[in-house]
């Protein structure tokens, strides 16, 4: 049997093959993870809640089934972001209000993952209620970036991304409203995908047709990510937004996509500043496609309304889901959550009418843009990882932001356009910090995103950059080459 170190460094697709051939068991993988968490997670704080007894009981049940009935994940362990309920496991949402909450029933997304052979062994850290792109909370503290423990892992799926980068996960669940899968993936040098609305079913909360937030997969490489996406998708009667699973898995259809002909690159989408080094690294990655005969042009659709539109719709969403907590638990909420809810309470019907109309128009322009371009490429995040003590990015390239979410515009504009998008590791800063390239396709275009990202991943040669040992300070990229 492979050693713990060999298992930790293996990719998820390889491990599923070993599980299906019964060359390793789910217990072997859980043992390797438990040892790795004990060795590496202390300074990172990616997985503050562990449930290995539950995981081993699930593994025992799974192994009583024939191999052919153990699902596409075949017993591969997966951590769940601490916003989502797992039966019998402490689920805090990063909030003191729910610090001792233990759900009696799992979210339908977790149920599907477990039915498809995933084994839940941990909850990954998140900011309170997922608010903010830096993972810290009053229950568990901050998650630190394994590439440099003095830096942020971003958020709100920061625990998941840091676990993947530090070798305490092979696959991970995350969620994304304004970049919460894509920002941590960029900061931590892993792959994170926001799927189309309805692709992953989950329990409705407060409003049955919420469309800003989605659940999605995170992994160390593109094919592993497709493996997890296939295990997450499918319709469910409890989620009326949910889509049927496609006839063929995305791991197959991504390999059958037509050759790319023309892609657009934009450093700013016309709506945000960007760190010059991040712009340089992402542009160089996009231009690698030219060597494959792909036309690469500077272009983006008109997204001018994105700031106003997202501000209103996000505030409304927070108001719908958290206003009751503001009335009864205000003293336990962090300032950013209070601000979000209060912004929602100020909204008028005219504000909502305008924001919804803006989203319709913005989405239509994005869809027309894809009549000409196969993909849109941008930075996934406008900076590399900033100091972990910094609650959010206040300015970039000399421009100050009006609020704590405006620096996420390059991600939330894509959310508003209803597009699937993926953050792919594409290079490093001079300081040795990862940089992510955002790969965007039209709605329901997951296979196209995956195919384009896999081509770029092969060209860039960064597939094996993680897992790494958590680092107190970053080595210069020149020493890593």
Question: What one-character-per-residue DSSP string does 173-237 give?
Answer: EEEESSSTTHHHHHHHTSEEEE--TTSB----BSBTT--S-EEEEEESSHHHHHHHHHHH-B-BT
Q: Give CA–CA dist 34/12, Å, rounded.
A: 17
Q: Compute how many other C-beta atoms are within 10 angstroms of the C-beta atom of residue 142.
A: 18
Three-class SS state of 365: helix
Which residues share a beta bridge with 239? 236
Backbone angles phi, psi at 418, to 5 degrees: 65, 30
pLDDT at 477: 43
Domain span including residue 124: 4-480
pTM equals 0.97
Contact residues for 63 (Cβ-Cβ < 8 A; gap 6+): 25, 26, 70, 75
- pLDDT of the chain, 481 residues: tens digit per residue: 899 999 999 999 999 999 999 999 999 999 999 999 999 999 999 999 999 999 999 999 999 999 999 999 999 999 999 999 999 999 999 999 999 999 999 999 999 999 999 999 999 999 999 998 999 999 999 999 999 999 999 999 999 999 999 999 999 999 999 999 999 999 999 999 999 999 999 999 888 999 999 999 999 999 999 999 999 999 999 999 999 999 999 999 999 999 999 999 999 999 999 999 999 999 999 999 999 999 999 999 999 999 999 999 999 999 999 999 999 999 999 999 999 999 999 999 999 999 999 999 999 999 999 999 999 999 999 999 999 999 999 999 999 999 999 999 999 999 999 999 999 999 999 999 999 999 999 999 999 999 999 999 999 999 999 999 999 975 444 334 3
Q: For the chain, how many structural domains are there in total?
A: 1
The conformation of residue 49, written as its DSSP 8-state character, comes to E
**Chain centroid, CA 175 distance in Å:** 6
Q: Give CA–CA dist 227/246, Å, rounded.
A: 14
pLDDT at 478: 37
Three-class SS state of 434: strand
Q: Give CA–CA dist 436/41, Å, rounded.
A: 23
Q: Give CA–CA dist 422/378, Å, rounded.
A: 10
> Which of 81, 72, 83 minimizes the C-alpha distance to 112?
72
Tokens matching residue 56: 């081993």
CB neighbour class for 249 (10 Å; exposed up to 12, middle 13-18, buried from 19): middle
Inter-residue contact 439 to 424 (CB < 8 Å)? yes
The domain that holds 45 is classified in CATH as 3.90.1300.10
The residue count for the chain: 481
Give just the sign of the alpha carbon dihedral 390, 391, 396, 398.
Answer: negative
Q: H-helix or E-strand containing 241?
A: none
Contact residues for 252 (Cβ-Cβ < 8 A; gap 6+): none
Q: Give CA–CA dist 215/218, Å, rounded.
A: 10
Question: Could you give the residue numbers annotated as active site?
Answer: 81, 156, 180
């Amino acid at each position: 049997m492979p050693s713990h170190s060999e298992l930790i460094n293996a990719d998820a697709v390889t491990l599923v093959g070993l599980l299906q051939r019964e060359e390793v068991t789910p217990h072997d993988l859980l043992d390797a993870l438990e040892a790795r968490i004990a060795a590496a997670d202390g300074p990172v704080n990616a997985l503050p809640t562990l449930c290995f007894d539950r995981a081993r009981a699930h593994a025992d049940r799974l192994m009583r089934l024939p191999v052919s009935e153990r699902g596409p994940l075949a017993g591969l362990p997966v951590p769940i972001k601490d916003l989502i309920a797992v039966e019998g496991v402490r689920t805090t949402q990063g909030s003191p209000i729910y610090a001792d909450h233990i759900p009696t029933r799992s979210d339908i997304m977790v149920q599907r993952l477990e039915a498809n052979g995933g084994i839940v062994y941990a909850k990954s850290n998140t900011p309170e209620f997922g608010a903010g792109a830096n993972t810290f909370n009053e229950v568990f503290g901050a998650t630190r970036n394994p590439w440099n423990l003095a830096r942020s892992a971003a958020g709100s799926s920061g625990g998941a991304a840091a676990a993947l980068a530090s070798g305490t996960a092979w696959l991970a669940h995350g969620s994304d409203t304004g970049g919460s899968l894509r920002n941590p993936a960029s900061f931590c040098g892993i792959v994170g995908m926001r799927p189309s609305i309805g692709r992953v079913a989950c329990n409705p909360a407060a409003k049955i047709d919420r469309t800003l937030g989605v659940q999605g997969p995170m992994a160390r490489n593109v094919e592993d990510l497709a493996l997890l996406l296939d295990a997450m998708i499918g319709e469910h009667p409890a989620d009326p937004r949910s889509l049927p699973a496609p006839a063929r898995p995305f791991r197959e259809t991504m390999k059958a996509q037509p050759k790319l002909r023309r892609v657009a690159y934009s450093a700013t989408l016309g709506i945000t500043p960007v760190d010059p080094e991040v712009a340089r690294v992402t542009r160089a990655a996009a231009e690698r496609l030219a060597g494959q005969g792909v036309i690469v042009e500077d272009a983006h659709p008109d997204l001018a309304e994105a700031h106003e539109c997202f501000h209103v719709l996000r505030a409304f969403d927070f108001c719908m889901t958290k206003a009751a907590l503001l009335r009864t638990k205000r003293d336990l909420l962090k300032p950013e959550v209070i601000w979000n809810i209060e912004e929602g309470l100020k909204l008028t019907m005219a504000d909502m009418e305008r924001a919804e109309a803006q989203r319709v128009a913005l989405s239509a322009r994005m869809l027309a843009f894809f009549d000409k371009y196969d993909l849109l490429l941008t930075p996934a995040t406008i900076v590399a990882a900033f100091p972990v003590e910094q609650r959010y990015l206040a300015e970039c390239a000399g421009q100050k932001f009006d609020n704590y979410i405006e620096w996420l515009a390059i991600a939330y504009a894509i959310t508003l356009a209803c597009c699937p998008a993926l953050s792919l590791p594409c290079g490093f800063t001079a300081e040795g910090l990862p940089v992510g390239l955002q790969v965007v396709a039209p709605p329901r275009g997951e296979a196209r995103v995956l195919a384009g990202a896999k081509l770029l991943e092969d060209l860039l040669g960064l597939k094996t950059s993680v897992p790494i040992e958590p680092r107190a300070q970053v080595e210069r990229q020149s020493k890593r080459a």
